[in-house]
Amino acid sequence: MKKSFKIGLLIFCFALFSAFAMHKFYVSVTQIDYVPNKKRIEITSRIFIDDLEKALTKKYKKKPNLTSTNELPEAEEWIKSYLKEKIKITINKKPQIIDYLAKEVEGDVLIVYTKIAISKKINTFEIYNSL
């Protein structure tokens, strides 16, 4: 019985490892800074260009050709819309409007800058990020 358990456990571990080895991981990094002298929150998101391109192509059924000379004119609007879906911030129990500022390229990463204007003291701060 112990031998069959060990073999079963070995097969399970191999299957689990195989599943992880075949799965591609998607990573983005979002940094959120409170800047009191500017009365705002600054959000910087770093997203791999190929991953973002795949997501936008799936959503809009057209390849945006990000950061190339063939970038679609609507690509920046698609990025703004995608960010609004994927990042939500609530301050003092009220959903906030995230203003898009700019984007830039660093190697194979697209860096997107956004902000939230703050006029009141922050008591609660909630973040939803599914980038």
- Kindly report, residue by residue over 47-84, the tens digit of the pLDDT: 999 899 999 999 999 999 888 889 899 999 999 999 99
Question: SS3 of 45, please?
Answer: strand
Q: How confident is the model at residue 28 (pLDDT cuts 50, 70, 90)?
A: confident
Q: Are 45 and 111 in contact (CB under 8 A)?
A: yes
Q: Is 96 exposed, middle or buried (0-12, 13-18, 19+ CB in 10 A)?
A: middle
112 three-state secondary structure? strand
Q: What are phi and psi of 50, to 5 degrees?
A: -65, -35
Whether 118 and 44 have beta carbons less than 8 Å apart is answered as: no
- At 131, the pLDDT band (50, 70, 90 cuts) reads confident
Per-residue pLDDT tens over the stretch 90-103: 999 999 999 999 99
24 vs 127, higher pLDDT: 127
- Which class for 100: exposed (0-12), middle (13-18), buried (19 or more C-beta within 10 A)? middle
